[in-house]
Amino acid sequence: MHSTLILGTTVAAAAVAYALKPKRPKTELEASAVPIPLVPSYLPLQLDSVLGYIISTLAGMDEMEFLRNITNKYGNTINLRGLNEDFVVVLDPSSVQHILAKNQPNYEKGPQFQEIFHEFLGSGIFNADGEVWKTQRQLARPHFQTSEFRDAALINRHVDQLIKVINKRIDTAPNASLDIQNLFCRFTLDEATDFLFGDSINSLEHEDSEFSTAFNYAQSITAWRFRVPLWKYLVPKRRFLREIKILDNFVYRIIDNALERQEERDKESKKNHETETEKHNGGHATLLDHFLSYQKETEFDREYLRSMLLNFLLAGRDTTASLLTWTMWHLVQRPDVVARMKEEILQVLGPNAVPGYDDIKKLKYQKQVVNEVLRLCPPVPFNIRQSIEEDVLPNGYYVPPKTPIAYSAYSTHRMPELWGNDVLEFDPDRWGPERVGSIRPFMFVPFHAGPRICLGQNLAYTTAQVTLTRLLQNYEIQPVPGFKPEQLGDIVLFSRNGMQVHIKKKSLIED
């Protein structure tokens, strides 16, 4: 996107916004509350701030650190107004709790958010409000209960394939570095599509699959829609719609096959109490099968099912890949942490045993490591709501109606006043029994919180811990000299330049 084009359209948008924005008289509540501090801007309609942000983003700016630096300078509740439109950011736990839990009904995704995501995610759970969201969550919750994946068999099946791919790479190029982020994205896509659809993409075997390419492109373009004024006219759409069509063709094929299976199950269930659903994957239905079991009550159509499945895929695939990627980055910097993790694995499992769900629960230090990665590198570093009615935050600041209000787990997790002067240090002992009690509610929100807390957080922990255990049992992982990841905060926190590591085969017993 050309910066001159962005400049011209932004100026035009600013003029229109200024001309059409109605003047709103102060309400009684507003008059009695404190206005949220504005981040200084020196041109009319905050054009310097808007253009500076867009151009810096195009140039590869670290947006997470950009926001953290602003809040460090101007406070933990700020108004990043642009084009005369308010955009509130809150970091303190009491305000985050107010938005996500205590007054959650007043803060929804809102029409602007939904319009940006609609072509990609439709009216699925990630993009829905009100009764639509409640219905989908109530239906999905049972499938994400711990009992659905206690034996971790599905996860281990895909870790087996991940290990095969890594071994092949080592045998082919033993001294070359490996982009472990790329592998984790393909691994979690395979696992997530298997868990959700019962039909894995197998992207570990076929790296450049149409589906994975389309899915990645759709996320990237959707993220840019948040950044650019008049995005409908500036952000590329022709290819975007072609890639969405690829996603649709795949998902609708899966849905149609599942509908056929459902018809067969309905016929069979009249003859036998044990249905195919109960037999599937050792007694575990897919999420799609789970939804279809309620079809007669809810009358889902194919489009509704398509939206739900893509929403859960977005929520489950990249977030776990992000967690594993940043865990690798921190581990290659800290051989002392790796040594403690390996010692614990040997005590609990030995050098070769494949971990099950009950085994993972015994790896206490490993869980501390994962939590510390989630603190410093939350997979969803930034999230947005919109106020419905006017409100006052616990710290006394006034929120106007219909105002975008964002919270940043990334920034909250790095506040010295909450976590101490060593806030930027990677320290898993922060989560040990001696210190964990000092972590207050809503200080730590990697999976969000309140009624919309992530349904798949237990699955994310289990996937991450099973995968880490297996990798540490089989390999020695070392840093690549001179490599440093560049944070990219689109929808999910990744590294713009991948995650390069050196990896070689080594039995855990040899350490």
Known binding-site residue numbers for heme: 454
Which stretches of 270-353 are DSSP H helices?
A: 276-279, 287-292, 295-298, 302-333, 335-348
Q: What is the largest CA-CA distance in the chain?
A: 75
CB atoms within 10 A of CB 21: 12
Residue 178, helix vs strand vs coil:
strand
End-to-end CA distance of the chain: 51
User: Rounded CA gap, 312 and 291, in Å?
Assistant: 12
What separation in angstroms does the CA of 407 have from each of 11, 92, 374, 410, 412? 28, 9, 16, 9, 8
User: Rounded CA gap, 195 and 446, in Å?
Assistant: 22
Contact 451, 274 (CB under 8 A): no
Which residues 6+ apart lie within 8 Å of 138 measured at CB? none
Residue 179, helix vs strand vs coil:
strand
What separation in angstroms does the CA of 32 have from each of 75, 95, 391, 397, 398? 21, 18, 11, 10, 9
Query: At 146, which amino acid appears?
Result: T
Contact 430, 374 (CB under 8 A): no
User: Rounded CA gap, 111 and 207, in Å?
Assistant: 36
Residue indicated by tokens 């895929």:
313
Contact 213, 206 (CB under 8 A): no
Read off the DSSP letter of residue 401: T
Which residues are annotated as part of the binding site? 454
CB atoms within 10 A of CB 97: 21
Conformational region of residue 200, where left means phi above 0, alpha means psi within -120 to 50, and beta covers everything else? beta
